[in-house]
């Protein structure tokens, strides 16, 4: 087990103790099972600043602002991404409705945060080049799902990034997460790479390959559904 895996293991133990205190044994067992043995495939999708794209519209009106510490656990997320919030990786955004209720959250992380990205995620993501940004921590409040908030919010936050000077924005989506793949495509993103993540006895291996034709067709078929 390498040093990074040991660090991750220790962090997971701390998280497990917190979950145990809250009676969430099923979450603990799921995390342990994943790290003993699991394989996961994700698609890397990209959007460029000069791509013409008509932003989709959600079924409700909402505004976007930077995340505040007081926003933590206001999306019915049960401490999801709590550790990511505490790492203070910039920038996290919140979408809130006309009643000031938080409905969506995501990070747009610039290349200047490479050190923090590698420290937090390890080798899960390649180093960002200058002018690139990474979308991570996408989460829609369960009470607001089905309202098409993600595509519009992702588009608007991407535009914020382009106005900041980013040329390319990247997002990774689990290939089984069909709603998020649909949302990303509807936000103007296109598939580029495949990431394979494998856990075995608490050690993680990550590899990247270009998207094969069958996966491109898979993504196209998803959009048609």
Residue 10 lies in a domain: no
Count of structural domains within the chain: 1
- Which of 166, 158, 169 has its CA nearest to residue 64? 158
pLDDT, tens digit (0-9, with 9 covering 90-100), for 66-116: 999 899 888 988 777 888 888 889 999 999 999 999 999 999 999 999 999
Look up the pTM and report it.
Answer: 0.81
Residue 157 lies in a domain: yes
pLDDT band at 38 (very low <50, low <70, confident <90, very high): confident
Q: Does residue 144 have a pLDDT over 70?
A: yes
For strands 168-174 and 92-97, give the pairing.
Answer: unpaired
pLDDT band at 30 (very low <50, low <70, confident <90, very high): low
Residue 46 lies in a domain: yes
Residue 65 lies in a domain: yes
Two tokens, residue 41: 């495939």
Two tokens, residue 162: 């382009």
Residue 132 lies in a domain: yes
Q: Does residue 22 have a pLDDT over 80?
A: no
Q: Does residue 9 have a pLDDT over 80?
A: no
Residue 131 lies in a domain: yes
Residue 31 lies in a domain: no
How many Cβ atoms from other residues are within 10 Å of residue 174's Cβ? 14
Q: For residue 210, what are the domain limits?
A: 37-224
Contact 7, 121 (CB under 8 A): no
Residue 15 lies in a domain: no
**How much is the pLDDT for 11?**
56
**Domain CATH code at residue 54:** 3.40.630.30
pLDDT band at 162 (very low <50, low <70, confident <90, very high): very high
């Amino acid at each position: 087990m390498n040093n990074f895996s040991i660090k991750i293991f220790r962090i997971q133990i701390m998280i497990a103790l917190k979950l145990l205190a809250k009676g969430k044994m099923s979450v603990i067992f799921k995390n342990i099972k994943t790290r003993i043995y699991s394989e996961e495939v994700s698609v890397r999708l990209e959007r460029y600043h000069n791509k013409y794209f008509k932003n989709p519209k959600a079924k409700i009106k909402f505004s976007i602002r930077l995340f505040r510490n007081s926003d933590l656990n206001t999306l019915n997320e049960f401490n999801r991404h709590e550790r990511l919030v505490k790492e203070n990786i910039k920038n996290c955004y919140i979408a809130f409705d006309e009643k000031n209720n938080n409905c969506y959250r995501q990070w747009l992380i610039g290349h200047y945060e490479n050190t923090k990205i590698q420290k937090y995620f390890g080798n899960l993501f390649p180093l960002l080049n200058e002018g690139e940004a990474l979308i991570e921590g996408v989460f829609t409040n369960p009470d607001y799902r089905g309202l098409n908030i993600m595509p519009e919010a992702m588009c608007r936050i991407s535009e914020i990034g382009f106005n900041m000077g980013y040329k390319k924005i990247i997002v990774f989506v689990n290939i089984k997460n069909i709603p998020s793949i649909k949302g990303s495509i509807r936000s103007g993103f296109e598939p580029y790479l495949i990431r394979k993540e494998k856990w075995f006895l608490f050690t993680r291996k990550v590899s990247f390959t270009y998207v094969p034709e069958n996966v491109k067709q898979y993504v196209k078929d998803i959009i048609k559904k």
